[in-house]
Amino acid sequence: MVQTAMADNPLMLGLPDEKRPEPFALVIFGAHGDLTKRKLLPAIYALYVQDLLPDNFAILGQSRTAKTDEEFRNSMKDAVIKYSEDIEFDENTWERFSKSLYYRAGDSKQLDSYKEMKVTLSELQEKHGTMGNNIFYLSTPPSLYMPIVKMLAESGLAYSRKTTEPAWPRVVVEKPFGHDLQSSIELDAILHDVLNEHQIYRIDHYLGKETVQNIMCFRFANSIFEPIWNREFVDHIQITSAETIGVEDRGAYYEEAGALRDMIQNHLMQLVALVAMEPPISLDPESTRDERVKVLKAIRPFSPDTIDDFAVRGQYDEGFVLGNKAIRYRDEKNVSPESCRETFAAMKLYIDNWRWAGVPIYMRSGKRLAKRLTEIAIQFRKPPKLLFDQLGGSVFNKESQAEAPNVLVMKIQPDDGISLKFATKQPGPTTQIRSLTMDFRYGTAFGSRTPSAYERLILDSLTGDPSLFARSDFVEASWKLYQPLIEHWEKAIPGKSTGKGRVVEHRPFPNYDSGSWGPAESDEMLAVEGHVWREL
Cis peptide before 510 (omega within 30 of 0): yes
Active site (catalytic) residues: 267
**CB contact at 8 A, 419 and 438:** yes
Half-sphere exposure of 290 (CA within 13 A, CB side): 9
Q: What angle do CA 222, 228, 234 make, to 5 degrees?
A: 130
Closest-CA residue to 203 (of 41, 40, 26, 18): 40
Q: At what angle do helices 210-220 and 269-276 cross, to 10 degrees?
A: 20
**Helix (H, G, I), strand (E, B), or coil: what is residue 247?**
coil
The contacts of residue 384 (CB under 8 Å, 6+ apart) are none
Q: What is the 3-state secondary structure (H, E, C) of 77-124?
A: HHHHHHHCCCCCCCHHHHHHHHCCEEEEECCCCCHHHHHHHHHHHHHH
* Cβ-based neighbours of 290, under 8 Å, separated by 6 or more: 280
Sign of the dihedral through C-alpha 69, 70, 71, 72: positive
